[in-house]
Amino acid sequence: MTTLTDSSPNQIRAACEAASQAAPGWAAAPVVQRAALLRALADSLQSAREALVPLADEETHLGTVRLNGELDRTCFQLRGFADQIEAGRAQPVQDDPAVPGAPPAGRPRLTRIAVPVGPVAMFAASNFPFAFSVLGGDTASALAAGCTVVVKAHPGHPLLSRAVFELATAVLPAGVLQMVEGAGIPVGVALVRDPAITAAAFTGSVRGGVALWREANARPRPIPFYGELGSINPVVALPGALAANGAALATQLAGSIAMGCGQFCTSPGVVIVRDDEASQAFVKQLAEALAAANPHAMLNAAIRAGFNAGVARLHGRAGVKSLLALPARETAPGAHLVATDAASFLADEVLREEVFGPSCVIVTVRDAAETLQVLHAVEGTLTVTLWGADEDTADNRELVRAAQAIAGRVLFAGVPTGVAVTAAQQHGGPWPSTTNALTTSVGYAAMERFLRPVALQDAPGWLIAARGQA
């Protein structure tokens, strides 16, 4: 397997300096130009599909169907951000005219605008080699906001990273997109520490993300670090929903757990059910559906080793019953399902840790109060799914409040895998799912991470006019 050679400190410094030199010109570029270039990047990706998808499959084992869909999603994001900035989303203006008199009744004219923060460090993810990599959502949103980008390529797909980078630099002005390489920790640390970098975006492990977040905050001039770290995405399956549609929901949930071999940040890792007949029938159906799943090979040996260790810990815990522990099929792992009660889940933090792969923990609760206790114990998560909370009851209101307190996205139907790219999306949640619950890494609001508000007081007319013409 081809591996990336660690970029040297001089190469990292040169990449960051090139992005810094290009930053003023890119920030000042007319919106119509930035939008045209974003669309040109999408067109170039699509035109190179026949070469890029087989290369991605060789390096990630994700399958050509999935990878073609992911390439389409990446192109959709790029074009979507182009549409958004043409509509003025990257240049919001709040204008308060002057009012005669002294404060607080009177005031000067104040015009609130947004300016690009400057060069952004982007850490590519292993599990989405197109959509969260060199030209993925973080890069697209930063470019749309008017920021230059230095990508740290992921060592899980080095040849694809180089191919996409070459494609992109043939489209963009010189310096706007830079790339550094390597699996070594010093590469990421040097990138975050570089004085030219003004913000960082990361998708990956809790351990790696927390280390880089600390580096970002330890700089002489700290920078925002937008990290997506880990999530167990609880599903609360209420008795009414399971009594009405349990078999279909079990099949749907099994597909979500096994999707992409469980290597999604929104993969369901915990399912909360009641101790009743419909719920236990659902658990049996879920185990049967998972047993029939056929996960593909995992992204790399390190992730596979982490999965094996994680499920071994689950099966060995006190108060845990093993429902499914399928052996590996050649290079692909089998699915795993364990069950426990609320008291054991609350007492054992290992049961609340993300296991990256096709596994899930069933937690049986006695009542609504125990359901709330289990949710509160989860801490931060990207999603919570609530099946059966359709009626306006006191219990359902409490359940929704608890879900909103710990998650960035609350679902009332469907499964959490599959994250729509749209203006209303929120892909982020409280710690430890992300380092900043106020932002999203998916959807058009992702641009806001890389725009800094500035108030102009009694600004001259030419400056206000220039904002309107950009």
CATH number of the domain residue 317 falls in: 3.40.309.10
> How big is the CA angle at 146 (ends 140 and 148), to the nearest 5 degrees?
70
| Residue 416 domain-assigned (yes or no) | no
Q: Characterize the bridge pairing of strands 225-228 and 199-203.
A: parallel
Q: Can you tell me whether residue 193 is helix, strand or coil?
A: helix
Q: Is 228 noted as a catalytic residue in this protein?
A: yes
Please tell me whether residues 54 and 89 are part of one structural domain. Answer: yes
User: pLDDT value at position 328?
Assistant: 85
Question: Does residue 1 surpass a pLDDT of 60?
Answer: no
Q: Over 70: is that where the pLDDT of 469 sits?
A: no
Kindly indicate the confidence band of residue 93, based on its pLDDT and cuts at 50, 70 and 90.
Answer: confident
The DSSP annotation for 285-322 comes to HHHHHHHT------S-HHHHHHHHHHHHHHHTSTT-EE
Q: Is residue 2 part of a domain?
A: no
2 has pLDDT over 60: no
What digits encode the pLDDT tens for the residues 110-129?
Answer: 999 999 999 999 999 999 99
Residue 95's SS3 state is strand
Domain identity same for 219 and 340: no
| 204, 241: one domain | no
Q: Is the pLDDT of residue 3 over 90?
A: no
Identify the DSSP state of 449: G
Q: Please indicate whether residue 5 or residue 82 has the higher confidence score (pLDDT).
A: 82
Give the pLDDT confidence score for residue 429 in this predicted structure.
97
Q: Which residue in the list 228, 354, 370, 448 is annotated as catalytic?
A: 228
Write phi, then psi, for 432 (nearest 5 degrees). -100, 15
Instruction: Work out the average pLDDT over 138-146.
Output: 98
Place of tokens 């992409």: 260
Q: Dmax over Cα atoms in the chain, in whole Å? A: 79
**Does position 330 have pLDDT exceeding 80, yes or no?**
no
The confidence band for 4, taking pLDDT boundaries of 50, 70 and 90, is low
Please indicate whether residue 265 is annotated as part of the active site: yes
Encode pLDDT of 398-444 as tens digits. Answer: 999 999 999 999 999 999 999 999 999 999 999 999 999 999 999 99
Domain that holds residue 166: 9-229+434-469
209-229 burial by CB neighbour count: b if 16+ within 10 A, else e? bbebbebbeeeeeebbbbbbb
Domain identity same for 177 and 316: no
Q: Is the pLDDT of residue 238 over 80?
A: yes
Q: How confident is the model at residue 92 (pLDDT cuts 50, 70, 90)?
A: confident
- 1 lies in a domain? no
Express each pLDDT in 276-312 by its tens digit: 999 999 999 999 999 999 889 999 888 999 999 999 9
Question: CA dist 110 to 395, 457, 466, 468, Å?
Answer: 46, 5, 16, 16
pLDDT per position as a tens digit, 337-353: 999 999 999 999 999 99
Q: Residue 274 has which token pair?
A: 């009641």
**Tally of CA atoms within 13 A in the half-sphere of 396 that contains its CB:** 14
Residue 176 banded pLDDT, cuts 50, 70, 90: very high
Direct distance between the N- and C-terminal alpha carbons of the chain, in angstroms, rounded to an integer? 46
Q: Which of 265, 360, 370, 448 is catalytic?
A: 265
Q: How many domains does the chain have?
A: 2
Q: Taking residues 79-83, report their average pLDDT.
A: 98
Is residue 377 assigned to a domain?
yes
> Does residue 73 lie in a domain region?
yes
Cα 229 to Cα 382: distance, rounded to the nearest angstrom:
10
Mean of per-residue pLDDT scores for the chain: 95
CA distance 345 to 323: 16
